[in-house]
């Protein structure tokens, strides 16, 4: 399938000399949710701004739905909606009017039925005649999404959609994003919340210092870089760890009540069955076992560390 977004050797050097993007290539398929992760200043907003036609690239090309964003910008722009990081709304304007107005800016003819459907889907229909300044922070963000979707784009960019939003609202936003995806909208979001990427994205791209370090399906990323930690709670505390067990990578907690074991989820044999059998042979009674998968946060930190090492 042809990608809806095709980024080819994209670079950006600002006039100040900062290289915000360095030779980034990336293809995004229709209908996927891609999360871009990266520390402050990594180049995420620059990338989105170039695709949306707000920043001129220094090199490389971007196609949206097959249209070159520079040569064929009108056609490309029609396919794109952008929810910016900062909330900027006209305070005295009514919700429905600002959505209608944005649709007009894109040159789309009025379509009241669509606007109603959109506002209903974002739980804003009851607030349609409210002035935007009367809305809560979460509602304002939903108005930004409604504006970005007012011309029925195929691709939606969400630049840190839940920055500064509380947990309940954040989950509400995730719900909205899932529903949009079910409607076939391709979504690219940037986030600092790894939990957000972990919960929502199909694929995760990691950007650092203008370079795209990797892009992988989330499950693959978690599986590939993820380590699991096994905790074995003991019935009777152990004074010391038998040398043979220590040699196999087992550790003992200071109080002797728990053993720990890190293993690689990729390994064909994790050795856990053998380990438990060994403990039984040594009459070490096990009270409980639990495992913990390393989080995306840990994976992300180790990737950045690897890069700076």
Does the footprint of ligand ATP cover residue 16 (CB under 6 A)?
A: yes
In 3D space, the residue among 42, 96, 29 whose CA is nearest the CA of residue 211 turns out to be: 42
Please pick, from the candidates 25, 27, 41, 301, the single residue that binds ligand ATP as defined by CB under 6 A.
41
- For position 42 contacting ligand ATP by CB under 6 A, the verdict is yes
Write down the least CB distance from residue 164 to ligand ATP, Å. Answer: 13
CA distances (Å), 144 to each of 35, 85, 86, 200, 254, in order? 19, 10, 10, 20, 53
Question: Residue 167 and residue 146: Cα distance in Å, rounded?
Answer: 21
Task: Give how far the C-alpha of residue 32 lies from the chain's centroid of Cα atoms, to the nearest Å.
Answer: 11
CA distance 308 to 302: 10
Among 14, 73, 92, 101, binds ligand ATP (CB under 6 A): 14
Selected binder of ligand ATP within 7, 38, 173, 198 (CB under 6 A): 38
Cβ atoms of 257 and 234 within 8 Å: the answer is yes
Residue 70 tokens read as 């520079």
Choices 27-35, 38-46, 176-184, 222-230 (CB under 6 A): range interacting with ligand ATP: 38-46
Which residue among 43, 65, 153, 205 contacts ligand ATP (CB under 6 A)? Answer: 43
Tokens read off for 288: 């409980």
> For residue 263, how many other CB atoms are within 10 A of its CB?
17
Nearer to ligand ATP, 102 or 191 (CB): 191
Separation of alpha carbons 144 and 5, rounded Å: 22
Q: Which residues contact 181 (CB under 8 A, 6 or more apart)?
A: 31, 33, 187
The verdict on 45 binding ligand ATP (CB under 6 A) reads yes
Q: How far is the CB of 138 from ligand ATP (least distance, A)?
A: 21
46 binds ligand ATP (CB under 6 A): yes
Q: Does 84 sit near ligand ATP (CB under 6 A)? A: no
Q: Would you count residue 161 as binding ligand ATP (CB under 6 A)?
A: no
Q: Among residues 34, 37, 44, 200, which is the contact residue for ligand ATP, using CB under 6 A?
A: 44
Taking the complex as a whole, how short is the minimal distance between the CB of residue 282 and ligand ATP, in angstroms? 51
Site for ligand ATP in 199-228 (CB under 6 A): none
Which residues make up the interface to ligand ATP (CB under 6 A)? 14, 16, 18, 20, 38, 40-46
């Amino acid at each position: 399938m042809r990608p809806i977004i095709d980024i080819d050797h994209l670079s950006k050097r600002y006039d100040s000399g900062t290289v915000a993007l360095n030779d980034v290539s990336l293809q995004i398929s229709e209908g996927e949710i891609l999360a871009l992760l990266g520390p402050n200043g990594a180049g995420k907003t620059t990338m989105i701004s170039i695709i949306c036609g707000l920043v001129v690239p220094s090199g490389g090309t971007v196609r949206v739905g097959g249209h070159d964003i520079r040569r064929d910008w009108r056609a490309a722009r029609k396919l794109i909606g952008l929810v910016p990081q900062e909330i900027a709304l006209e305070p005295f304007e009514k919700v429905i009017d600002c959505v209608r107005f944005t649709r007009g800016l894109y040159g789309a003819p009025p379509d009241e039925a669509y606007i109603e459907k959109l506002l209903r889907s974002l739980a804003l229909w009851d607030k349609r005649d409210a002035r935007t300044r009367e809305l809560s922070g979460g509602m304002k963000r939903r108005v930004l999404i409604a504006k970005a979707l007012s011309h029925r784009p195929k691709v939606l960019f969400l630049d840190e959609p839940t920055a500064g939003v509380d947990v309940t609202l954040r989950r509400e936003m995730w719900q909205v994003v899932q529903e949009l995806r079910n409607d076939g909208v391709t979504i690219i979001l940037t986030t600092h919340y790894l939990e957000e990427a972990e919960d929502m994205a199909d694929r995760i791209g990691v950007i650092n210092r203008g370079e795209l370090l990797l892009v992988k399906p989330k499950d693959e990323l978690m599986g590939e870089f993820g380590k699991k930690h096994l905790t074995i709670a003991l019935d009777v505390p152990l004074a010391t760890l038998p040398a043979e067990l220590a040699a196999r990578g087992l550790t003992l907690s200071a109080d002797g009540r728990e053993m720990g074991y890190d293993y690689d989820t990729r390994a064909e044999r994790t050795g856990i069955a053998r380990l438990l059998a060994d403990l039984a042979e040594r009459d070490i009674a096990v009270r409980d076992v639990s495992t913990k998968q390393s989080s995306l946060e840990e994976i992300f930190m180790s990737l950045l560390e690897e890069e700076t090492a």
